[in-house]
Amino acid sequence: MTGTTLSQALVQARAFLDSRDVATAGLDARVLLQAAAGVSHEALVMRGDEVLEPHAARTFENFLKSRASGKPVSRIIGHREFWGLRLGVCGETLDPRPDTETLVEAVLTRMGRGTSPYIRDLGTGSGAILLALLSALPQARGLGSDLSFGAVRMARRNALETGLSNRAAFVMSDWGQVPARLADIVVSNPPYIARGELPGLMRDVRDHDPIRALDGGADGLDPYRRIASQLPLVARPGALIAFEIGHTQDDQVRSILGDAGARVSGTGLGVVRDMAGRPRVIVARAPRR
């Protein structure tokens, strides 16, 4: 692409990704070009006639090859936009997806944005859910935990870079086992893929998200059972609980939480659907001991 303008490079890149059956070729080409050239979307439009610098051209070509091989854009450029926050991702964190914003919205709708809750995020990964909630609740504080040291390190970095480190802490823990203050809100996006279904996942998920963040055991429900058993350790009586689920798991997760003494039906409780109309989040209340 040496000697090509930004506009020409974008057209060529889209055609290249289209030819490799990348479904979001136009968007991916634009985001990768912005990253390679170090320009904003607005600058890309306004400066389309400028020639792409040689170093940026080489970087862009490498980015495109990676995307054509199935590597997600966020893994290529090292970050993902989530709830208006720019969050770093690494090999030990799940790539935060827009569907998970359904969980954030579900919590905010039920808590109100003027409240000051203490939040526990179990299996925090990049810290996406906790940091999104803290950004919307300026009086809230929270603790994210993860079994992966790399994930905890990335979450701490994201807290620093989003200006939320004074209200967010992150520790290594097997879900909620670490002693801490009982929470007013408990959130989690745990692994929920049944082990036998892992080989059939889309390539960009199967080959690039950490297996630990995907594998939910034989039926995909092991993490929910584990977390439900720990609710007395992490949640104050009546605390709000919001868990992301697979689209066929609503009845099973409601049953697991109900068996643990949580309230799973009533005003504001139960299943929350995502923008596509699929069950995405279970909202419940922690047991009142």
Each residue of 57-75: pLDDT tens digit?
999 999 999 999 999 999 9
3-state secondary structure of 271: strand
Say if pTM beats, i.e. exceeds, 0.85: yes
Residue 85 in any domain: the answer is no
**Same domain for 257 and 139:** yes
pLDDT tens profile 158-170: 999 999 999 999 9
146 shares a domain with 110? yes
Angle (nearest 5°) at CA 66 between 162 and 91: 45
CATH of the domain at 193: 3.40.50.150
Residues 151 and 12 placed together within one structural domain of the fold: no
Residue 140's domain comprises 93-285
DSSP alpha helices (H): ranges in 144-221?
A: 149-161, 203-206
- Looking at 69, 104, 124, the residue that finishes a domain is 69
Spatial distance between the Cα atoms of 283 and 271, rounded to a whole number of angstroms:
6
Give residue-wise pLDDT tens across range 26-40: 999 999 999 999 999
- Domain identity same for 163 and 29: no
Cα separation, 214 vs 212, whole angstroms: 6
The residue-averaged pLDDT of 138-152 equals 97
pLDDT at 202: 84
Q: Work out the average pLDDT over 135-159.
A: 97
The total number of structural domains in the chain stands at: 2
Strand order in the sheet with 118-122: 168-172, 141-146, 118-122, 183-188, 235-244, 279-285, 270-273
Q: Pairing between strand 118-122 and 168-172?
A: unpaired
Instruction: Place 1 in a pLDDT band, splitting at 50, 70 and 90.
Output: low
Residue 188, in any domain of the structure: yes
**100 with 121: CB under 8 angstroms?**
no
Neighbouring C-beta atoms of residue 276, cutoff 10 Å: 9
Looking at the fold, whether 157 and 271 belong to one and the same domain comes out as yes
Same domain, 258 and 119: yes
- The whole-number pLDDT of residue 220 equals 96
